Amino acid sequence: MNFETTLRVRYAETDKMGYVYYGNYAMYYEVGRVDMLRQMGTSYRQLEESGVMMPVVHMECNYKRPAKYDDLLTIKTEVLHFTGTRVEFKYEVSNESGQLLNIGRTTLVFIDSETYKPCKSPDWFTELILTHFPMN
């Protein structure tokens, strides 16, 4: 199952090479996964308000073609793995011509906002993820 969101490349996000700065894809991944949660009926803000934070512990980015200023990008997000204590997301970024520009993966863990210790995914969140991405 896939979720898609679109965003337009800002001038601020380009660099003197004329393309999107390579560090900005992490932000695009954020937009993709946050919008996936919204499309599922919740939000990352809601998760944080329930006392859980999800820091990123690993990221991998493959840059295939450059994204350019003013490009309307589509970010396709999916959950690759879910263990109850960590989630691995995959992102595919493509442009309006359908060209695949970038593929990324991030692993996030659950942290208790008060103790700053690792914790388990809240039950409602686990159920939500597994409904859309049944793991085997």
Is residue 56 within the footprint of a second copy (CB under 8 A)? yes
Q: Among 62, 85, 99, 131, which residue sits at the site for a second copy (rule: CB under 8 A)?
A: 62
Is residue 119 within the footprint of a second copy (CB under 8 A)? no
Q: Among 6, 39, 43, 131, which residue sits at the site for a second copy (rule: CB under 8 A)?
A: 43
**Piece in contact with a second copy (CB under 8 A), picked from 19-27, 74-82, 93-101, 126-134:** 19-27
Token pair 């996000």 is found at 13
Number of neighbours of residue 123 by Cβ within 10 angstroms: 9
User: What is the rounded distance in angstroms from the CA atom of residue 74 to the CA atom of residue 77?
Assistant: 10
The sign of the CA dihedral 96, 68, 105, 62 is positive
**Piece in contact with a second copy (CB under 8 A), picked from 41-49, 77-85, 87-95, 117-125:** 41-49
Residue at 62: amino acid letter: N
Q: Which residues contact 74 (CB under 8 A, 6 or more apart)?
A: 4, 5, 6, 93, 94, 95
- Residue 84 CB, shortest distance to a second copy, in Å, is 20
User: What is the rounded distance in angstroms from the CA atom of residue 4 to the CA atom of residue 117?
Assistant: 32
**Closer residue to a second copy in complex, CB, 44/76:** 44
Is residue 41 within the footprint of a second copy (CB under 8 A)? no
Q: Among 2, 50, 70, 83, which residue sits at the site for a second copy (rule: CB under 8 A)?
A: 70
Phi, psi of 45, deg, nearest 5: -60, -45
Positions that interact with a second copy (CB under 8 A): 10-12, 14-19, 21-27, 30-31, 34, 43-45, 53, 55-63, 66, 69-70, 106
